[in-house]
Structure formats: C-alpha cells, structure tokens
Amino acid sequence: MKLPKGWKMGAAYFVMILILGLTALTYGLARLELMPKGQEVVAQGNDQTKEGSLKLDLGNPVKTEDQGGNKSQVKISLEDFPSPVRVEPLRGVENYFSENVNAYLFHAGRDYPLVEGAVIRATHGGKVTFAGADPILGQKVEIDCGEGWRVVYGGLDNLRVQQGEIIENNTVLGQIGYYSGADGINDRTQLHYEVWNGDQAQAE
C-alpha cells in the first residue's frame, strides 16, 4: 500500500500542534495552582457585595435596621397625613373669636370649602373609633391610626364606614353635607379635618 506524497510532512505538523497544545494546557494548570488564595477571596467578596446590593434594593422600604440588626417599622410622622383635598383652607389650626359664646376658642383643624356631595376619602388607614353625629361637627368620622395618631373628619353626610371597622388608606368615608352646628364660617359646605398626635393638634 502506497502512502500519499507528503504524508511525512503532514504527520510532523500534527505532532507539532499536539505538543504545543499539551504545553499550553500544562502551563495554564500550573498558573492556576500557583494563584494566591487571596485573589479568590476577593472575587467571592465582589459577588457577595453585588448580591447584597440587589437584596437591599428589593427590600421593604418600610423596614429599618439598627446596628444590632433588629428590624422595626418606620415611625408615623405628620408627613403621612397629607391634605385630604386640593383647595386652600378657609381656616387653619388657630385661636378664633366666637360670636356665639362671645369668647376666643381653639380651632383644632382645617376647614376646606367643598361642594355638597363631594366624596371624602381617608388620608391614612386605621380603626374607626367614632362614626356618627357630633353636636359641633355634624356627621363625624374619627380614625385611630396607631402610635398615638388619630384623624377627625367633620361636616360629612352619608357615612360609608362604621365604628370598629378597620379601613385602609383612600377608603371612602362619606360625602360633604351641610351642618348647622358649625361655628364661625358656616355659610357654606366644608370639610373639617383634624390631625392629632396624643393630645396635640397638628398644624401644617
């Protein structure tokens, strides 16, 4: 059997390529064995840092963590009780002179002029501690929001919540109605809105 011409040269090239490949593989394995362990730790640390950042970004923003690693809910503040409507108030938290009793009285909330029948929603969730008639504020809803915070809505009608009910933010409480017992600016329908922390009425 005759071999084709040039087979010796082809075999030599094949053997040379095989030797070069084995040499490169041996060199790479030797460098891998000699790599300092500290570099491997740094690489793992980078991966852990990225993973930790991802978990932090996706975490619950309502939770906080102190130096001891204890998690707790963020405290409620006045910023959690925005204005219930987008109109300028007729009156704020202030002392005013009442012609009915001929004396100065304390006005504990804000009065917003609204058309009769306007729907009023809760600015903060909580437990309804009162829902009914009030001699001064007409139909009133009071909500305990926790941590000593409570909200009062007066001047309502057609109440949609009941005492003892647990409601969420933006729950419909009722509609604006006219209440003849209003003291002061009482020639128009309005929402009376109070925010309390303990025994202190909160102003904007």
User: The tokens of 119 are what?
Assistant: 């729907």
Helix or strand or coil: residue 6?
Answer: coil
Nearest to 174 by CA among 184, 162, 164: 162
Q: How far is CA 68 from the centre of its chain?
A: 24
pLDDT at 71: 53
CB-hemisphere CA count at 13 Å for 167?
27
Token code pair at residue 199: 């025994």
pLDDT of residue 49: 32
What pTM does this model have? 0.62
Distance CA 9, CA 51 (A): 55
Tell me: the pLDDT tens digits for 148-194? Answer: 999 999 999 999 999 999 999 999 999 999 875 555 455 789 999 99
Amino acid 54: pLDDT: 31
State the Cα angle at 25 between 22 and 27, rounded to 5°: 110
d(CA 172, CA 181): 24
Q: What is the mean pLDDT of each run of 10 residues along the chain (204 residues)?
A: 55 61 53 42 32 30 49 80 91 83 87 94 97 92 96 96 96 88 65 94 83
Amino acid letter, 16: M
Q: What is the pLDDT at residue 124?
A: 95
* Number of residues written out for the chain: 204
Tell me, what's the pLDDT at 97? 81
